[in-house]
Amino acid sequence: MNYDEYIEEARKYSSDEIVARLESHLINWKSDNTNAVELADSIERFFGNFWITSEETHRRLYKLWFSFKAEAISCIGGMTMNERLYWFGLFERYESASEAEQQVIYAKLCANT
């Protein structure tokens, strides 16, 4: 499950106000200035500080997040740029970006360290 698929899964439960806030946070990350590691920290804090009304929904979304984090964020250092763009759903942004904007995306995906 890549980032966009995770957002779609969260969208299914967005009638819950907390899940709607999570979905918004996930969508906004694509255009903000934080990187993938900072994303992981913020989502972990989110799950730790807010309780989704349905325990089943909370468990499902956290389980899927934990899986995404293990596959995409924890392994990001061994990925090619194309793999990073796929996992985080940033192909379109990257392909239409100026060279300066591409550097921002490199930083976002921890590819310039």
**Would you say residue 19 has pLDDT above 80?**
yes
Alpha-carbon dihedral of residues 8, 103, 110, 108, nearest 10 degrees? -40
Beta strands per DSSP E along the chain? none
Measure CA 65 to chain center: 9
Residue 96: helix, strand or coil by DSSP? coil
44-55 pLDDT tens trace: 999 999 999 999
Cα-Cα-Cα-Cα dihedral sign, residues 59, 38, 41, 50: negative
Please measure the distance between the N-terminal and C-terminal CA atoms of the chain and give it in whole angstroms: 25
d(CA 91, CA 4): 11
54-73 pLDDT tens trace: 999 999 999 999 999 999 99
Whether the model pTM is above 0.85: yes
Q: How many CA atoms lie within 13 A of 37 on its CB side?
A: 9
